[in-house]
Amino acid sequence: MTSRRYCRPFCLTAFVLLIAAPVAVCAENTPQAAVSDSAKTDAVKPAASAAEQSAQAVGAPADNAGSAAPANQAPQDKPAQPASLTDKAIDKVKQAAKSASDIFNRVPCLPPKGVARAFSLPHVAHKLAAGEPVTIIAFGSSSTQGYGTSSPEFTYPNRLAAQLHRRYPAANITVVNRGRGGDDAQQMMARLQSEVIDVKPDLVIWQVGTNAVLRNEDPDAIAQNVQDGVARIQATGADVVLVDLQYSPRVTEHPENASKMVKLIRRVAQLRHIGVFPRFEVMRQWHESQALPIDTFVIADGLHMNDWGYACFAQILGDDIIRSVGQIRLGVAAPINRSM
């Protein structure tokens, strides 16, 4: 896989403004590889999306804004002032918000009905209320890494980061992608300390279980690994949310193992008093209740999500995080998977 440099769409804007600021804005991107989940062994660190970069820039002080020329001043008296950093940041946030909604123009992302998704994130809520930086780690395998997306912008961690930045524009929120294709609980446990705990996250979103089902591994052993890992994360004081399997043809080919794995992940969440995002049921509802064809949200390999699938997953997950933080701020304790 070779990396190639290319200019993102806003490079053209930077080029047009060369007279005021002679710097071309480019980004380096690593294209997604067309290999199977089990064959992917190297982590890919997605480039920061334009939405992330722009939302972080919104925190620039307002007094950085340049003053406009008086209305009665002739254009030849004083050259036009370049847009301030704050103005540029606001424009980028508007572009990011438009990009976030564009993908849902053809097929809307509807919240699932009758699927319990409530969880509590007291640590994240406290950090946001105190104005302190928040670090979120997306931990998992290829569907966290973002296999199947057309660009890094559409990985679920990047989409989630953009959504949280739009909701909390003054907050310092960092979402770190720690997905590695082909991994399951045993492999993730080997890198849990260095890639998760040592980073000192405030929230860990742990996507797990799919590869174990595909490989016909013992679900009970996987569940025990997850339970041990969650306990280690909780010992640091971080919040944890588990994400179960994706609903896709290659997973549903193993109905007994898939069902057992989903139930075991829920059981771990109950035992450790943490949240679980029921991705399997959410995606099943896309197909069965909303009558969306599988190829609306799954790519041709029958396993991984496409841009729309990742975007809708991230949108619903982000809504749940925002709702949880709001409930805690209001003193409302969210139920933890009582009905699951």
pLDDT digits (tens, 9 = 90+) for 49-63: 333 333 333 333 333
* pLDDT tier for residue 82 given thresholds of 50, 70 and 90: low
CA distances for 15 relative to 66, 85, 99, 153, angstroms: 21, 16, 21, 22
Residues of CATH 3.40.50.1110 domain(s) within the chain?
115-329
Residues 98-105 have a mean pLDDT of: 73
**DSSP code at position 135:** E
Does 257 have pLDDT greater than 70? yes
Question: Among candidates 102, 183, 179, which has minimal Cα distance to 139?
Answer: 179
Segment holding 316, helix H or strand E: helix 307-329
* pLDDT tier for residue 31 given thresholds of 50, 70 and 90: very low
**DSSP code at position 57:** H
User: Which tops the pLDDT comparison, 331 or 281?
Assistant: 281
Pairing of β 203-207 and β 275-277: unpaired
Alpha carbons 207 and 340: distance in angstroms, whole number? 18
> What is the model's pLDDT at position 86?
61
- Express each pLDDT in 266-297 by its tens digit: 999 999 999 999 999 999 999 999 999 999 99
pTM (two decimals)? 0.71
Place of tokens 């994240």: 124
User: Which tops the pLDDT comparison, 118 or 266?
Assistant: 266
Q: Which tokens go with 269?
A: 């969440």
> What is the model's pLDDT at position 116?
79
* pLDDT over 90 percentage in the chain: 62
How confident is the prediction for the chain on average, in pLDDT?
Answer: 78
Does 21 have pLDDT greater than 80? no
Residues 108-136 have a mean pLDDT of: 92
Strand, coil or helix: 137: strand
Q: Which tokens go with 79?
A: 């050259």
- Express each pLDDT in 84-96 by its tens digit: 666 665 565 455 5
Strand, coil or helix: 127: helix
Domain 115-329 class?
alpha beta
Q: Which tokens go with 326?
A: 């709001």
